[in-house]
Amino acid sequence: SYVLTQPPSVSVAPGQTARISCGGNNIGGKNVHWYQQRPGQAPALVVYDDSDRPSGIPERFSGSNSGNTATLTIGTVEAGDEADYYCQVWDNTSDHPVFGGGTKLTVL
């Protein structure tokens, strides 16, 4: 099945930019979705179709996808952005959704 690889953790100082990667074989040919999961809460969609944002999500959240890597970028990071972030794609081979292993974003 299709495998998505994320770094276990990313740390960034407040006000800086955080970048979280999601690697997969030719992931640039797929639509990548990103979810934020704050401690003790359910996941929530923050970026879909590589770079679009659901209503209510700040413009600080953006995404890109090319080649074998998709990236979630969070600009001007705030303490409230501290959470686990998961990438997700649709695996056409299995016809099932697939999640990355998740990245814990720590705001220093």
Partner 1 sequence: EVQLLESGGGLVQPGGSLSLSCAASGFTFNSYVMNWVRQAPGKGLEWISGISGSGRSTYYAESVKGRFTVSRDNSKNTLYLQMNSLRAEDTAVYYCARRGSGRYFGLFDFWGQGTLVTVSS
Where on the chain is the footprint of partner 1 (CB under 8 A)?
31, 33, 35, 37, 41-45, 48-49, 54, 86, 88-90, 95-102
Closest CB to partner 1 among residues 2, 76: 2
Closest CB to partner 1 among residues 13, 49: 49
Q: Where are the beta strands (DSSP E) in the chain?
A: 9-12, 18-23, 33-37, 44-47, 61-66, 69-74, 83-91, 96-99, 103-107
Strand partners, 66: 69
Q: Nearest distance from residue 99's CB to partner 1, in Å?
A: 4
Q: Residue ranges of the alpha helices (H) in the chain?
A: none
Q: Nearest distance from residue 50's CB to partner 1, in Å?
A: 11
Q: Nearest distance from residue 14's CB to partner 1, in Å?
A: 26
Strand partners, 5: 23
Closest CB to partner 1 among residues 15, 49: 49
